[in-house]
Amino acid sequence: MQSDVQETAQEYTPYINRERSLLEFNRRVLAQAKNPDIPILERLKFLCISSSNMDEFFEVRMASLYEISTDAAARTKPDGQLPSQAIATLSEVAKEIVYDQYNTLNHILIPELEKENIRFLRRRQWNEQQKEWVREYFLSSMQPVLSPMGLDPSHPFPRLLNKSLNFIVSLEGKDAFGRTNGLAIVQVPRSLPRIIKLPPEATDGENDFVFLSSILHSNVSNLFPGMTVTGCHQFRLTRNTNLFIDEEEIDDIMSALQGELYSRDYGGAIRLEVSDQCPKNMYQFLLDQFNMSEDQLYTVDGPVNLIRLNSVPDLANRPDLLFDPFSPSMAKTNQSNKKGGFKLFNRKKESESMFERIARKDLLLHHPYDSFAPVIDFLYEAAKDPNVLAIRMTLYRTGEKSAIIDALEKAARAGKEVTAVVELRARFDEDNNILQANRLQDAGVNVVYGVVGYKTHAKMIYIVRREDHKLRQYVHLGTGNYHHVTSRFYTDFGLFTANPRLCNDVAKIFQQLTSLGDTKNLETILQSPFTLHSGMLERIEREAENARQGLPARIIAKMNGLEEKTIIDALYDASNAGVKIDLIVRGICSLRPGVPNMSENISVTGIVGRFLEHHRIYYFENTQGSPELYCSSADWMRRNLLSRVETCFPILDKDNFQQVYTEGLAVYLEDNVGAWILQPDGSYLPKERSDDEIAFSAQQWLMDKYVDKD
């Protein structure tokens, strides 16, 4: 039997298709919606997350495949398929997932929500009182903003926004001008809520909801007086949202982006979602309008946009059906003012500033278990400190109403030299980043937009302070964005340090980003696109050589994605040399683990839980010296290693080293609650737990640990 398994395993190609792996990640997210150990409203949120993930999959990944599908020489990476082959396979898998989403909603979540008196009332369930309220709601809150459009030569098919809700309506009879149109389109503005909670005067239930689509269905005839509505079916179009900018041919990247952002809503059609009650002649009419094939059609049993269900947990106001509240640890911080300033608790004296604390010893924060407040306080303190001369910072995603932006503005207006490297091309955050860049410029901040052709994805703050008639440098380096909202549910490490070796390297990188000078002689930090890729390969190959010599060898790596071919090949080589390799990969993983004579010493674990796993951590046993541990802004993806500006920084302090190793790697390898194990065929299975084995969740362990700190 074992020989049969090995023979089958050896038939696998070396690489898993990137997009297929992304869909498998979404299966794991969707599985959380079915998990009875998770509170029911949190499970509804996971369903919404899986729907949002599918939207982005079509807007970006499938759209990219369609773009290259007419190129005879094009192949997918790293597996080398024809784009048309990949599209066909991925479409089948995507339809399986979409079917599973609606099956989960209709047959698992809705019945269980009803047990908690949270009901979604369909039209056939409405009593007379509810029907009357719905009619009044339609007339007063919906009809005035709807613009039904009958289709004829003077009313051509309207241009539809990406992912907007629309209805196709079939009609009989003559319009006001004595003509027979037959079809009409009703576009629903995004300003209208898709889920409406019935007020007490309309229902006896505390949490009864109706879908906007149901309200429109029941009242659509009001939009076409004098004609008979014979059919009304919701649909939604997903478009290509990739931006097309030739950075070598433009003079002003901000102006070019602003021009492209408008067209994003009207890119090429990629997917058509329609109600499963829609007859073939009507959905075929829609497919023809958008020049789409039936393979791009997705029929659904429910609302065409599940993401809008994410309003239900707030509207229901049932905290007992959500995760228990979790507040980040304040053990290292103590709020000192109402504007978000914080001081360190574990300081030697009451008046000790953050700069004095960091000068004593590197400070490590583990988000979301540690508060993000010290990062904001670091900048606020720098802004008001008369001894701080310069602040430099990279900004990839910050969010709206960012305290980070506010602090940089204050620093610039206080006369400090402030430089912000703003990455305008952060996908789906371009609008906000342009807004923030303009705001910073208005405050006197020197704003640069990174490097043409290379997204600046590194997470760095650099501060110069005058101390005892000398200049001293302080740095913050992180694995995640400077975003106060995502820091509450993304797992990331952030390091404050005054170590001259690290600070000098960061200073050189900022100089490179602003002056574009050649700065490759970094002492401690590995940087993309120059030394990070080769540095990782060298360390993997060193572990392989140590194993061949009979020395201890080990690699543990945690990241969001792994698809860079030469890294995968080096890991295969290290596995064959006898290196034990444990990979913890949240999303895309193109490496096949557990294949005899290729990857039998490699395991891949994916963790899905309450928080989004976002660390990038790389551990190498390094028998020839001492173990090495790095945190990074970069995944082992081709784009991160070769086409972006990224940093990978060593953890030099021994206490911080142990903390990152334990909290970022070791506990995740012990997880048997949220862990999924990648199989050689590219599928994932939940990590098995014996009947007498105690359930262990890495995220829960960390929450408990940090609560105890307080």
Same domain, 190 and 285: yes
Domain boundary among 522, 551, 566: 522
Question: In angstroms, rounded to a whole number, what is the distance separating the alpha carbons of residues 294 and 299?
Answer: 11
Check the annotation: does 233 bind a ligand. Answer: no
Tell me whether residue 4 is in a domain.
no
Same domain, 186 and 262: yes
Triad 658, 560, 556: Cα angle to 5°? 40
Question: How many helices (H) and strands (E) are present in the chain, helices listed first?
Answer: 22, 29
**What is the structure's pLDDT at 474?**
98
Sign, CA dihedral 355-359-360-366, equals positive
H/E stretch holding 83 reads helix 83-104
Domain count across the chain: 3
Tell me whether residue 5 is in a domain.
no
Check the annotation: does 427 bind a ligand. Answer: yes
Same domain, 580 and 609: yes
Give the residue among 568, 607, 571, 609 at the shortest CA–CA distance from 589: 568
Q: Are 228 and 45 in contact (CB under 8 A)?
A: no
Domain boundary among 506, 522, 538: 522
- Please enumerate in sequence order all residues whose Cβ is within 8 A of that of 478, keeping only pairs 6 or more positions apart, or say none: 375, 459, 460, 492, 493, 494, 495, 631, 633
Same domain, 25 and 58: yes
**What is the structure's pLDDT at 636?**
98
Read off φ and ψ for residue 106, nearest 5 degrees. -75, -35
Same domain, 307 and 381: no
Check the annotation: does 586 bind a ligand. Answer: yes
Question: In angstroms, rounded to a whole number, what is the distance separating the alpha carbons of residues 419 and 403?
Answer: 16
Same domain, 543 and 663: yes
**In this structure, what token pair is assigned to residue 37?**
């150990």
Question: In angstroms, rounded to a whole number, what is the distance separating the alpha carbons of residues 561 and 18?
Answer: 9
Tell me whether residue 326 is in a domain.
no
H/E stretch holding 392 reads strand 388-395
User: Which CATH number is 253's domain given?
Assistant: 3.30.1840.10
Same domain, 151 and 41: yes
Counting Cα atoms < 13 Å in the Cβ hemisphere of 367 gives: 27
Counting Cα atoms < 13 Å in the Cβ hemisphere of 7 gives: 4
Over the chain (710 residues), the average pLDDT of each successive run of 10 is 40 92 97 97 97 94 92 91 94 97 98 97 94 96 93 79 95 71 91 95 94 96 92 95 56 51 74 96 95 96 94 96 89 41 45 90 97 95 96 88 92 94 73 81 88 88 95 97 91 98 96 82 95 98 96 97 98 98 98 96 97 97 89 97 96 97 98 97 95 94 84
Sign, CA dihedral 620-653-648-331, equals positive
Same domain, 312 and 389: no
Tell me whether residue 703 is in a domain.
yes
SS (H, E, C) 42-70: HHHHHHHHHHHHHHHHHHHHHHHHHHHCC
Read off φ and ψ for residue 314, nearest 5 degrees. -70, -40
User: Which CATH number is 647's domain given?
Assistant: 3.30.870.10
Check the annotation: does 614 bind a ligand. Answer: yes
Spot the catalytic one: 233, 366, 457, 484.
Answer: 457
Check the annotation: does 397 bind a ligand. Answer: yes
Check the annotation: does 466 bind a ligand. Answer: no
Same domain, 160 and 213: yes
Domain boundary among 321, 347, 364: 321
What is the signed CA dihedral for 29, 34, 39, 41, rounded to 10 degrees? 80
**In this structure, what token pair is assigned to residue 558?**
């945690």
**In this structure, what token pair is assigned to residue 156?**
């051509």
Q: Which residues are 644's β-sheet partners?
A: 455
Q: Are 119 and 207 in contact (CB under 8 A)?
A: yes
**Is residue 483 among the annotated active site residues?**
no
Residue-number span of the structural domain to which 55 is assigned: 18-321
**What is the structure's pLDDT at 254?**
52
Give the residue among 572, 630, 562 at the shortest CA–CA distance from 597: 572
**What is the structure's pLDDT at 533?**
98
Same domain, 359 and 501: yes
Q: Are 425 and 453 in contact (CB under 8 A)?
A: no
